[in-house]
Structure 1
């Protein structure tokens, strides 16, 4: 196994010289060779490395010699060396408006929109690639709840596991914080543009941070309030890749309401409202910042309700990854 490891390491190092995508090789327990991207897509960089860390801890439980490819759609010739597993991230919204049938390929789901007459649709971006994967890691329990509602995705759901984005060390202190922050990559998108205009009309001082993928943790740690608004009226999954890391960094999160938020297991720590209600909520929090911060985060000790819930989510992530590896063992090729 060690000889194969050094051979693959040489081949991949040589390949990296001619590709923008850089890959690395890691030997796990003299049994599995883990191949991964060392320069993942920047929009999910922090989440990617968080999941990778959990994978490395859990893959030691693999039963047989194999190759494990994490977010490596290429490298096809290497996959003849040993039995292999392919693991991919699913980072898109699966919960779609019932009217979105023309814009995207979707499947019928069974989660009600709440009015009793329609159900949300299920959309899986890059379905062909993910459907061929050995394992799919999703950031959202709401996404998986929606996928599970589709009769056509039973097998896909079995190999899908939720790893919540418990990124960054928890820091709930109030000192050194200021301002209201939005993180709209494209603030010209109509509904977000209108929202920013509403903030201006309400005389709320804010800063929109765009195009920042490195150092976003510092933005969260220095902000009093992070505001989350959906990009469009079509996608309905809560943006957990933003709101949970912001919460863990001690920012008060004020978010546009989203369906089935109790599935996240931490929705009680977020302030929700309709997009029209958000400016008023922001003003209210600014005027009562210390009281609201105390209500959400408690005293910051390990015994606070917030800290207990964050630790529970971290533990659930570890257990979920262990179950994912057990799934690989049970479905060994």
Structure 2
């Protein structure tokens, strides 16, 4: 699909439904930069994640062209992962890490490589092998919603997970939470932005656990939108989360302690809610949009200036 923005064109490759909202958000940021600076450029975005037939693009103009891709995967893999990848300089809790790019052959062609995860970005920066990738790499927080919904009342789901693939550690967790007689929901058939928004606004606690034992990047695509809609987030501890601008809004726990922590929060819900969604923390959430716009604006203008 191609869209026109003034004298610019953006060709958007369709992405899997679980990341489509983030792609749409990125396109909104690109439109902002194009309009603000009255740019005449051609942008191709998202072909690395496209699993669908696409007719391609034929811009038929003399605009400068930028190729943008988005990394949706974990780059922070524990060293025991059975893959070949360069070593990271990140060490956390005596665990060594690798720097891994899924679908590297497409990502490397990017002029700009966007990433939902700040820990991903830092991990790549530690690796001299990927110095050229790091120069393209840019963090855009998945600030998907225009307005915050901070209200603790009328939330009917005590605890929520949104696990698409229920196996391994996630399967074990759901079995354990059932044994503890917690009123819990795992909802994995909700993908539209407005539907997810309603789900989060009806949730007291969102629980976040890594998909695989060796994959340790923090799942910002799930957790930041939940915070925007007033859900308390309890997450499995992850490396480098101290870098996150909203780090102190997340309740971090070891995997084995999460269920007990959820029980404690539910028993003291209003107290925790007031602590997490205090005025200072709400302002942190409000400032994320400005940071995203500034980051992508600077990156795009610098890239355009360097194009022949």
Say whether the fold is shared (TM-score over 0.5). Answer: yes
- Equivalenced residue count is 298
* CA drift at 1:79: 6.7
Q: Once superposed, which parts of structure 1, at least 4 consecutive aligned residues long, lie more than 3 Å away?
A: 60-66, 72-77, 79-83
Q: If you compute each CA radius of gyration, which structure gives the higher value, 1 or 2?
A: 1
* CA drift at 1:60: 4.1
Scaled by the length of structure 2, the TM-score of the pair is: 0.91
Aligned equivalent of 1:10? none
CA distance in 1, matches of 2:36, 2:227: 32
Matched, 1:33 2:5: no
CA distance in 2, matches of 1:142, 1:24: 32
CA distance in 2, matches of 1:193, 1:27: 45
Superposition RMSD on alpha carbons, in Å? 1.9
Instruction: Determine helix, strand or coil for the equivalent of 1:315.
Output: helix
Aligned equivalent of 1:182? 161
Instruction: Determine helix, strand or coil for the equivalent of 2:4.
Output: strand
Instruction: Determine helix, strand or coil for the equivalent of 2:5.
Output: strand
- Is the Cα contact below 8 Å between 2:23 and 2:46 reproduced in 1? no
Please list every run of 5 or more consecutive structure 1 residues that lacks an aligned counterpart in the other structure. 1-22, 299-303
CA distance in 2, matches of 1:151, 1:306: 35
From the superposition, tell whether residues 27 and 271 of structure 1 become closer, same or farther in structure 2 (CA, over 3 Å).
closer
- Is the Cα contact below 8 Å between 2:205 and 2:233 reproduced in 1? yes
* CA drift at 1:193: 1.3
Aligned equivalent of 1:52? 27
CA distance in 1, matches of 2:25, 2:183: 33
Instruction: Determine helix, strand or coil for the equivalent of 2:170.
Output: helix
Aligned equivalent of 2:109? 132
Aligned equivalent of 1:84? 65
Scaled by the length of structure 1, the TM-score of the pair is: 0.84
* CA drift at 1:153: 1.2
Aligned equivalent of 1:18? none
Matched, 1:309 2:284: yes
- Is the Cα contact below 8 Å between 1:159 and 1:327 reproduced in 2? no
* CA drift at 1:155: 1.6
Instruction: Determine helix, strand or coil for the equivalent of 2:154.
Output: coil
- Summarize the alignment of residues 146-185 of structure 1 with structure 2, pairs less than 5 Å apart: 146-168=123-145, 169-178=147-156, 179-185=158-164
